[in-house]
Amino acid sequence: MPTDTGSDQIFQLQEQVRQLKEAVVSHAVVDQAIGMIVVLGRVAPDQGWIILREVSQHTNIKLRDVAETILVWGRTGVMPPRIRAALEDTLDRQCPTHVPGRPAGALRPLSGPP
């Protein structure tokens, strides 16, 4: 029985368009989360990417989901303790810094600028 190759091609193209749209949205979410890490963690953009990736790996949570959590945290101030701990640990390990007014070795605050 012959198949309708025109319909198959249309379906394949529609699926590719859907996947591309999803990728664009996902990329934007990740970029925004990296931006938050850069600003609040006072790190370079390439370090922001590394930090986001490490948090994803250490928590075993998809990178896009970690990025979304960081964006929600930026709007609400709420972050799951597991992700918060991994983010603080990764920031401290990747780029330790002393925040003025905090004891040496204390982690930088994630609630906003010190």
Residue 103 lies in a domain: no
Q: How confident is the model at residue 109 (pLDDT cuts 50, 70, 90)?
A: low
- The pTM (predicted TM-score) of the whole model is 0.68
Is residue 95 predicted with pLDDT exceeding 80?
no
Is residue 105 predicted with pLDDT exceeding 80?
no
Distances in Å between the alpha carbon of 18 and those of 14, 15, 43, 61, 62?
A: 6, 5, 34, 23, 20
At 14 the pLDDT is: 84
Is residue 104 predicted with pLDDT exceeding 50?
no
* Residue in 74, 28, 72, 33 with CA at minimum distance from that of residue 50: 33
Residue 49 lies in a domain: yes
Residue 82 lies in a domain: yes
Residue 26 lies in a domain: yes
Task: Determine the structural domain holding residue 85 and report its residue range.
Answer: 8-94
Q: How confident is the model at residue 106 (pLDDT cuts 50, 70, 90)?
A: very low
Residue 35 lies in a domain: yes
Count of domains for the chain = 1
Q: What is the 3-state secondary structure (H, E, C) of 39-91?
A: HHHCCCHHHHHHHHHHHHHHHCCCHHHHHHHHHHHHHHCCCCHHHHHHHHHHH
Residue 20 lies in a domain: yes
Residue 106 lies in a domain: no
Residue 112's identity, in one-letter code, is G
Residue 100 lies in a domain: no
